[in-house]
Amino acid sequence: MQHAAPGKKSGRILAVLAVLVAGLLVFPHVVPNIVGNLGSLLETFLPWLGLAVPVLLGLALLRRSALGAAAVALPATAWAVLFGGLLLPTDPGAAHDLSVLQHNVDDENPDPAGTARALAAAGADLIALEELIPDALPTYRAALASGYAHHAVVGTVGLWSTYPLTDTRPVDIKPADIEAEWSRGLRSTVRMPSGDVAVYVAHLPSIRLGLPDGFASGRRDESAAALGAAIAAERLNKVILLGDLNGTLDDRGLAPIVSRLTPARSGFGFSWPAGFPLARIDHVMTRAATPTTTWTLPPTGSDHLPVAARFDLDPSL
């Protein structure tokens, strides 16, 4: 009996691995959430799956496997199609009607005044903040008062605006199993010269990763469904959502929101953790407006990076 040479065998193994990586990139939804929400975990860090490409290529070259090297083209192409566009430069000076800034300021932030000054210096028309604890709220109000004549706070989320705010109210995104006081969503009408815009600020529940539950996203998913329903029922045509959604755009758990709104997405814009960002869980999204560009700001005292975006509020939309 003739056996395959070790080099050919390793080449076949590398080819299989390359096909597997390509399949996961293109069809991450085939990984179920039945056990530990593994599907959502994969989708959260999906762009990082591209790191398998240089590893597989290096192994193929080391083993001198033409088959393995050729197979690496599959995941490389898949990654390029899915994420390559995010590497293209954008025009920071593109025309826009509205600029916004979103930031989870961290309830353990050691320098809320410094954080507020940094946010104010960005010059956005709207600033949305999450994790506003009672002890720090007066500091943010004082630091932002001169540049933002209008603001609204509901629970631990707030909105500061250069334009008048009306019809501000809570948005109920509280998971059913939380019995304590918990208010992390608001909706307000921003009265702009071009017309009213409904602005939502939300902070969805955090994810827990560990045993025995794995990627525990049940509460987050429940809140996402409630927020998506609220946005679907919004009567104003133009909508902007600013928030820490504790999930990425690829995560199926955010489908009730992402399916109804257009994300402001240029570049990867990883926003968490601030020290070494691995995922973008802080988002700006819209309905009936056009995002022109988005970017992250330098670190503040928070464990998140601020996320900024600009919009074209085309009156024809």
pLDDT of residue 1: 47
pLDDT of residue 309: 96
Note down pLDDT in tens along the chain; length 317 residues. 455 555 577 789 999 999 999 999 999 999 999 888 999 999 999 999 999 999 999 999 998 999 999 999 999 999 999 999 998 877 666 678 999 999 999 999 999 999 999 999 999 999 999 999 999 999 999 999 999 999 999 999 999 999 999 999 999 999 999 999 999 999 999 999 989 999 999 999 999 877 677 888 999 999 999 999 999 999 999 999 999 999 999 999 999 999 999 999 888 999 999 999 999 999 999 999 999 999 999 999 999 999 999 999 977 77
Which CATH topology does 98-312 take? Deoxyribonuclease I; Chain A (3.60.10)
Three-state secondary structure along the chain?
A: CCCCCHHHHHHHHHHHHHHHHHHHHHCHHHCCCCCCCHHHHHHHCHHHHHHHHHHHHHHHHHCCCHHHHHHCHHHHHHHHHHHHHHHCCCCCCCCCCEEEEEEECCCCCCCHHHHHHHHHHCCCCEEEEECCCCCCHHHHHHHHCCCCCEEEEECCEEEEECCCEEEEEECCCCCCCCCCCCCCEEEEEEEECCEEEEEEEEECCCCEEECCCEEECHHHHHHHHHHHHHHHCCCCCCEEEEEECCCCCCCHHHHHHHCCCEECCCCCCCCECCCCCCECCEEEEEECCEEEEEEECCCCCCCCCCEEEEEECCCCC
pLDDT of residue 13: 93
CATH 3.60.10.10 residue window(s) in the chain:
98-312
pLDDT of residue 32: 94
